[in-house]
Amino acid sequence: MDNVSFYSLTLGHLKDHFLQNNVKPFHAQTVFTEIYKKLNFNFQKSDFDTPLITDALGVFDFSLPKIVREQNAKDGTTKFLLEMKDGLKVETVLIPFHKRFTVCLSSQVGCAMNCSFCYTGTQGLKRNLLAQEIIGQYLVAWQWLIQNRPEKSVCPNIVFMGQGEPLHNFDEVKKAIDIMLTTEGLHLGPRQITLSTAGYLPGIERLNEMARVNIALSLHSPTNSVRNELIPLNRSYNIETVLNALGKIPLLKRQFVNFEYLLIKDLNNSSEDAVKLATLLQGKKAIVNLIPFNEFPDSPYKRPSVESIDRFKLILEENGIPTTVRTTKGDDILAACGQLKVLDEITQAKKLRDEKNKNNL
Ligand code: SF4
């Protein structure tokens, strides 16, 4: 049987384990600091190298996901294809933002939500990631940053916007976040973490069990009929139901809910849509992030013109809704929002299609 992963342990778990092995529990804090703050995985060579501690730690597996591919975009974005122990792969992206990087983490292998604009959605759900695999992605990306971009290697912020619907894997994502927030460990602040959801109501209703991280809702349309097309999950939990549930989450004083809005030409980018969106969000602590659609091979949707993006933004702002336009990062390596998918499979699918087309000629 495989050893238990060290990264699946909370500080409390490690203390209990030490107690059972006659090690003073305060040593657990030293170990957490060594691993998570100093990224020192070679603990045999550290101050706490005593036979009792090393024996107690010897039962754990310290291995991290393997980088099997690394792609660097012109704008400084780096996308990793990471292999888990069972051979399944997910993508993790490091995105430069001003003075520090943000890591975009995956929460599942594939995704069950089947959003029509998303590469990942076409893959279906293979399995949930475990807390240690979520933390593993972070540690691998941070280690890479320290080695390759030392000038900007301060511990990166986190967005759960990679593969998967994080609230569909609530327990493991919550556990990973709890470990990431541990003061003696990574010591991230809840506001350094953003959870993005397509509107998975059973998860939204459990958000009060979690630390007050930032929440982002992928809204993409103020109209249920259009949102049904973009996010099939909307047929189960429509806009009003999801907004009502989000409204019940207590927000901190200067905390907002981020509403992600993918702008797609001739589908959801009219002035009428902007007015409807402003009406929908009136009186809410909301920020809208407009994301001009990134076309990918065979994508059914198109990117709107710069003028129509500006017009949409202006209407929202005139109606008192703070709005930003997200500059897409990593376009040239398909690292932008909704574009993560194991590229081998894309290439495979394209090959099959091309062969089919050839045979039909
Ligand atoms: S956009 Fe997010 S929720 Fe929708 S299919 Fe893609 S990964 Fe899943």
CATH architecture of the domain with range 66-352: Alpha-Beta Barrel (3.20)
Q: Please name the residue that has the structure tokens 């983490």.
A: 105
Could you tell me if the CB of 163 is within 6 A of ligand 1?
Answer: yes
d(CA 338, ligand 1 centre) in Å: 6
pLDDT value of residue 340: 53
**Where are the strands (E) in the chain, listed by range?**
4-5, 60-61, 66-72, 78-83, 89-97, 100-104, 108-110, 125-128, 157-160, 193-197, 214-218, 257-263, 286-292, 323-325
| Rounded alpha-carbon distances, angstroms, from residue 125 to 88, 108, 120, 218 | 12, 7, 9, 19
pLDDT in tens, 244-258: 999 999 888 888 999
Confidence label for 338 from pLDDT (cuts 50, 70 and 90) = low
Confidence label for 40 from pLDDT (cuts 50, 70 and 90) = confident
By the 8 A CB rule, do 25 and 19 touch? yes
By the 8 A CB rule, do 10 and 179 touch? yes
Helix/strand/coil for 263: strand
pLDDT in tens, 46-71: 666 678 888 899 899 999 999 999 99
Could you tell me if the CB of 203 is within 6 A of ligand 1?
Answer: no
Confidence label for 346 from pLDDT (cuts 50, 70 and 90) = very low
Q: Of the listed 91, 133, 172, 260, which one is catalytic? A: 91
- Among 110-119, 145-154, 213-222, the range with the most confident prediction by mean pLDDT is 213-222
Query: CA 353 to CA 174: how far, in whole Å?
Result: 40
Answer whether residue 348 shows pLDDT above 60: no
Mean pLDDT of the region 195-222: 96
By the 8 A CB rule, do 95 and 102 touch? yes
pLDDT value of residue 327: 73
Question: Is 240 one of the annotated active-site residues of the chain?
Answer: no
pLDDT value of residue 54: 85
pLDDT in tens, 87-144: 999 999 999 988 899 999 999 999 999 998 887 777 799 999 999 999 999 999 999 9
By the 8 A CB rule, do 137 and 90 touch? yes
Mean pLDDT of the region 170-179: 98
- Return the ligand 1 atom nearest residue 119 CA: 6
Could you tell me if the CB of 198 is within 6 A of ligand 1?
Answer: yes
pLDDT value of residue 333: 52
pLDDT value of residue 226: 97
Query: CA 61 to CA 59: how far, in whole Å?
Result: 7
Question: Is 115 one of the annotated active-site residues of the chain?
Answer: no
d(CA 231, ligand 1 centre) in Å: 8
Helix/strand/coil for 53: helix
Query: CA 328 to CA 75: how far, in whole Å?
Result: 10
- Pocket test of ligand 1: the residue of 107, 120, 231 to mutate, having most ligand atoms within 8 Å of its CB, is 120
pLDDT value of residue 137: 98
Could you tell me if the CB of 121 is within 6 A of ligand 1?
Answer: yes
For the chain, the domains span 4-61, 66-352
Query: CA 213 to CA 218: how far, in whole Å?
Result: 16
Share of the chain above pLDDT 70, in %: 88
- Return the ligand 1 atom nearest residue 197 CA: 3
4-61 CATH, one of 1.10.760, 1.25.40, 2.50.20, 1.10.150: 1.10.150
* pTM, 2 dp: 0.90
pLDDT in tens, 181-190: 999 999 999 9
pLDDT value of residue 353: 43
pLDDT value of residue 42: 67
- Return the ligand 1 atom nearest residue 231 CA: 4
- The contacts of residue 158 (CB under 8 Å, 6+ apart) are 102, 103, 105, 138, 180, 188, 192, 193, 194
By the 8 A CB rule, do 126 and 110 touch? yes
By the 8 A CB rule, do 342 and 106 touch? no
Mean pLDDT of the region 310-314: 98
